[in-house]
């Protein structure tokens, strides 16, 4: 009895060990899944090529030029300055009214079309006739195809407009599609209604409005996140660039506040599209790959979040 009791204890111990190991296995699997999910965020960014592979199978640069409020020669010159400085991602929208200037600057740049990645967007007032809106964007840009087409905001008819974008992907006039200003609730409702998952979600993201719950939610779905107003947006840049925490980190690295904010985004797996009409700023905004923020510095910037939106959508 005594021996059997001891055997039972030993057997029980072995069972415990086996259970322990198998649950360790399960834990490892979960760990891998988490790693896979994280691989859609900063881990997915290739800091050598400065690109990210989208779920559409196309590669997109992780930094670019935003063109909101740039028009005519100011817009052409900004795009030209960016392309001359190696920027290969340009963000525009029907609503910005500058697709024509952007197309012209690209065609005149001497940079091969296939090296440039252009994002444009359909505005809600175009959702009732999305085929015509896509055709208009193609004609305005006049660069053969659109690399990425987004719905600019949620609105009446957005699902149908997205279906038209899916058709444009099948036809080859648009390569990748996505959404802008879609948050968790909107995505929960929208995603089950579409066939091609969005490759990109572009939302307001800056140190004073960080979306720390939204970003991982999107990235875990294999969707790349891009931030608009990375420098706070016009009218807010002075406060953000002058923030004491950001300024202190910037001087520790011998970089500008703008570069620190853009780098903070990249290290969070967020693609940046700062807007600028100043060639010196455009140049500065490309110099993001010769320094790295420490975990502590990332945390200090994360601590600046105050849920302060700088625009209504
Ligand atoms: N999907 C959407 O709903 C949505 C909404 C808003 C914007 N966007 C996109 O996001 C892009 C970025 O937003 P944004 O351009 O409005 O705002 P932003 O990038 O946050 O800030 C632009 C401002 O920052 C200044 N700036 C740029 N680089 C700088 C630097 N290195 N140092 C100091 N100042 C610098 C610019 O002035 P200078 O011209 O003097 O350089 C400009 O006044 C837009 O251009 C647009 O493509 C999308």
Lay out the sheet containing 51-53: strands in order across.
45-46, 51-53, 59-61
H or E segment at 134? helix 130-141
Residue of the nearest CA to atom 48 in ligand 1? 228
Whether 213 has a pLDDT exceeding 70, the answer reads yes
pLDDT value of position 3: 44
Sequence-distant (≥ 6) Cβ neighbours of residue 55 within 8 angstroms = 197, 199, 222, 223, 224
- Is the pLDDT at 248 greater than 50, yes or no? yes
- Asked if residue 145 has pLDDT above 80, the reply is yes
In the sheet with 65-66, reading across from the earlier edge strand, the strands are: 65-66, 89-91, 117-122, 146-151, 174-180, 200-204, 224-228, 270-272
Q: What is the 3-state secondary structure of 239-284?
A: HHHCCHHHHHHHHHHCCCHHHHHHHHHHHCCEEECCECCCHHHHHH
Centroid of ligand 1 to alpha carbon of 227 (angstroms): 11
What is the C-alpha to C-alpha distance for residues 67 and 304, in angstroms, rounded to an integer?
26
> And the tokens for 300?
């200090």
Centroid of ligand 1 to alpha carbon of 6 (angstroms): 73
- How far apart CA 212 and CA 246 sit, in angstroms, is 18
Overall pTM surpassing 0.75 (yes/no): yes
The 8-class DSSP code of residue 47 comes to T
Is the pLDDT at 126 greater than 90, yes or no?
yes
- Alpha carbon 187 to chain centroid distance? 15
176 Cβ closer than 6 Å to some ligand 1 atom: no
Ligand 1 contact, 277 CB (< 6 A): yes
Whether the CB-CB separation of 149 and 165 falls below 8 Å is answered with yes
Other C-beta atoms within 10 Å of 55: how many?
A: 17
Distance from residue 162's CA to the centre of ligand 1 (Å): 27
Q: What is d(CA 77, CA 99) in angstroms, rounded to the nearest whole number? A: 14
Burial string for 68-100 (b: 16+ CB within 10 Å, else e) reads bebeeeebbbbbbbbbeeebbbbbbbbbbebbb
pLDDT recorded at residue 43: 85
Instruction: Evaluate if residue 101 carries a pLDDT over 60.
Output: yes
The rounded Å distance from CA 101 to ligand 1 centre is 18
For residue 180, the ligand 1 atom closest to its alpha carbon is 1
- Ligand 1 atom closest to the Cα of residue 230 is 20
- State the catalytic residues: 96
Q: Is the CB of 182 under 6 A from ligand 1?
A: no
Cα–Cα–Cα angle for 60, 82, 181, rounded to 5 degrees:
50
Q: How big is the chain by its Cα radius of gyration, in Å?
A: 23
pLDDT at 260 over 80: yes
Q: Top-level CATH class of 41-302?
A: alpha beta
Binned at pLDDT 50, 70 and 90, residue 5 comes out as: low
pLDDT tens-digit series, residues 15-69: 444 443 333 333 233 333 333 434 457 789 999 999 999 999 999 999 999 999 9
The verdict on the CB of residue 237 being under 6 Å from ligand 1 is yes
Q: Give mean pLDDT, residues 132-136.
A: 98
**Contact 91 CB / ligand 1 (< 6 Å):** yes
Answer yes or no: are the C-beta atoms of 281 and 204 closer than 8 Å: no
d(CA 37, CA 252): 32
Q: What is the mean pLDDT of the chain?
A: 90
């Amino acid at each position: 009895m005594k021996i059997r009791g001891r055997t039972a204890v030993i057997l029980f111990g072995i069972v415990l060990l086996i259970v322990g190991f198998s649950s360790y296995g399960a834990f490892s699997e979960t760990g891998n899944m988490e790693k896979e999910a994280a691989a859609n965020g900063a881990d997915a960014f290739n800091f050598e090529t400065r690109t990210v592979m989208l779920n559409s199978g196309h590669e997109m640069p992780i930094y670019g030029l935003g063109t909101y409020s740039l028009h005519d020669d100011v817009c052409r010159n900004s795009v030209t300055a960016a392309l001359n400085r190696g920027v290969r991602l340009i963000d525009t929208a029907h609503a910005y009214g500058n697709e024509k200037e952007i197309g012209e600057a690209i065609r005149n740049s001497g940079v091969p079309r296939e090296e440039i990645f252009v994002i444009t967007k359909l505005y809600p007032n175009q959702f009732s006739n999305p085929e015509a809106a896509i055709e208009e964007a193609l004609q305005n840009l006049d660069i053969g195809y659109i690399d990425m087409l987004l719905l600019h905001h949620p609105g009446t008819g957005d699902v149908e407009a997205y279906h038209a974008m899916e058709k444009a992907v099948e036809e080859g006039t648009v390569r990748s599609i996505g959404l802008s200003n879609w948050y968790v609730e909107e995505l929960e409702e929208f995603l089950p209604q579409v066939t091609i998952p969005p490759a990109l979600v572009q939302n307001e993201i800056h140190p004073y409005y960080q979306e720390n719950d939204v970003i991982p939610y999107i990235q875990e779905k294999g969707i790349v996140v891009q931030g608009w107003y990375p420098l706070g947006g016009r009218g807010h840049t002075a406060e953000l660039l002058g923030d004491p925490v950001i300024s202190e980190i910037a001087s520790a690295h011998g970089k500008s506040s703008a570069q620190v904010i853009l780098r903070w985004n990249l290290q969070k797996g967020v693609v940046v599209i700062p807007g600028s009409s100043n060639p010196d700023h455009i140049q500065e905004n490309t110099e993001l790959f010769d320094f790295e923020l420490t975990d502590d510095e990332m945390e200090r910037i994360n601590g600046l979040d105050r849920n302060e939106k700088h625009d209504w959508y």
